[in-house]
Amino acid sequence: SKRVGILTAGGDSPGLNAAIRGVGKSAQGHYGMQMIGFQGGFRGLMENRSTRLDGNILSGILTRGGTILGTSRDKPHRMLVDGIMQDMTETIVKNYHKNQLDVLICLGGGGTQKNALHLKQQGLNIITLPKTIDNDVARTDTTFGFDTALGIATEAIDRLHSTAHSHHRIIVVEIMGHRAGWLALGAGIAGGADVILLPEIPYDIDHVAEAIRQRVKHGKPFSIVAVAEGARSLEQAALIQAAEARRLNAIDKKEQKKAKKQLKSLEAHHSGIHTVQLSEQLELLTGLESRVTILGHVQRGGAPSAADRLLATRLGSACADLIAAETYGVMVASEGEHAVAVPLEEVAGRKKLVPLDHPWIISAKRVGTSLGD
């Protein structure tokens, strides 16, 4: 029978256990395959730390947050080993064969799709599943984890509304999403935020302040500003663009390194610094008091929503069907009600940002939400 390796990589996300269970129960129970779980992402495969996923291990995990396998952001080709950053691809390939795997299932977001393609190019049989609260993986309608995070962020906005209202304050709430605005836009619309700022639309601070002043004028002296962690002002966007140009035109390695460092600090997104600055600017420009709430990793924790359990189970069982058919080198994507196999080459390295003409953007504008443009 087939030997199936499985690992979870990158940031954790609600629905990972549901997906492990979906793949595992279908592969073992339905197809009689053997499941081997590697611990702590690609590092677990590199260090050959594994567990047989048999017996009752896959029972009772459907509703649990996190991942029973553990995860890490380690990449096969860039791993800190003995204090030195090393390319561990060879060891990983060796361990794949040592475990006599027929296929390796990698559950992860954008970074994992790239790493999976890298391993495919080394001749390994790979299948991936798209998980991330950011919803930014190409070629799939959605990723598991997104719906749960959307619910958490929406509830947070609901709760911030009543306190902002009572105190006549601005509350700036920072929402995750990496460089994409899906989570902030979705939760902002569902939670009725007054302003939503996205990485895809650099904002003009004067326009944001004006939207808040207009609300005051209309008897609403409080505002909720939902800001994606990757959102940028027009000025910041211009600086990033200039640093990017400097990096591309750098004449030597030293200059390139300098530009890269600058770019990294400008793009620093999960520090909350931009959000605090934005709040201070809005206080000055509107005369209202402003507070900051950074939702952070709360958005990734806890039990998955029903929609995420369903999606993860659907994609997981479809993954077992693909293993049985020996369809490798693909991501199991969601397309409407169906699961489809998309070649990793069409997914890796392609971030799915919110298109500017997306229906959510149009609806947000129609109901009078300022997007800061």
Tell whether residue 213 is among the known ligand binding residues. Answer: no
Q: Which residues are catalytic?
A: 134
Q: Helix, strand, or coil here: 78?
A: strand
Q: Is 108 in the site for ligand F6P (CB under 6 A)?
A: no
Cα 35 to chain centroid, rounded: 26
Q: Contact between 147 and ligand F6P (CB under 6 A)?
A: no
The reply to whether 270 sits in an annotated binding site is no
Which range binds ligand F6P by CB under 6 A, 75-83, 131-139, 219-227, 352-360? Answer: 131-139
> In this structure, how many other beta carbons lie within 10 angstroms of the beta carbon of residue 218?
8
Judged by CB under 6 A, the number of residues near ligand F6P is 12
Q: Which span sits near ligand F6P by CB under 6 A: 47-55, 130-138, 186-194, 237-245?
A: 130-138
Chain centroid to CA 228: 12
- Measured CA to CA in angstroms, residue 373 lies from 27, 197, 234, 283, 358 at distances of 49, 9, 9, 19, 15
Least CB distance to ligand F6P at residue 207 (A): 26
Write the DSSP assignment of 122-156 as a string of letters.
TT--EEEEEB-TT--BTTSS--BTHHHHHHHHHHH
Q: Hey, what amino acid is at 351?
A: K
What is the C-alpha to C-alpha distance for residues 230 and 122, in angstroms, rounded to an integer?
34
| 134 belongs to the binding site for ligand F6P (CB under 6 A) | yes
Q: How many helices (H) and strands (E) does the chain have?
A: 12, 13
- Which residue number places its CB atom closest to ligand F6P? 176
Distance CA 306, CA 151 (A): 11
Binding mask 165-204 for ligand F6P (x = CB under 6 A): -----------xxx--------------------------
Please pick, from the candidates 168, 270, 338, 365, the single residue that binds ligand F6P as defined by CB under 6 A. Answer: 270
Show the binding pattern over residues 312-341: x = contacts ligand F6P (CB under 6 A), - = does not: ------------------------------
Q: Applying CB under 6 A, which of residues 132, 148, 290, 369 lies at the interface with ligand F6P?
A: 132
Buried b or exposed e, range 119-134, using 16+ CB within 10 angstroms: bbeeebbbbbbbbbbb
Q: Please report, in range form, the residues annotated as the binding site for substrate.
A: 132-134, 169, 176-178, 229, 291, 297-300
Q: What residue ranges bind ligand F6P (CB under 6 A)? A: 11, 109, 132-134, 176-178, 229, 269-270, 300
Q: Please report, in range form, the residues annotated as the binding site for ATP.
A: 11, 73-74
Q: Please report, in range form, the residues annotated as the binding site.
A: 11, 73-74, 132-134, 169, 176-178, 229, 291, 297-300
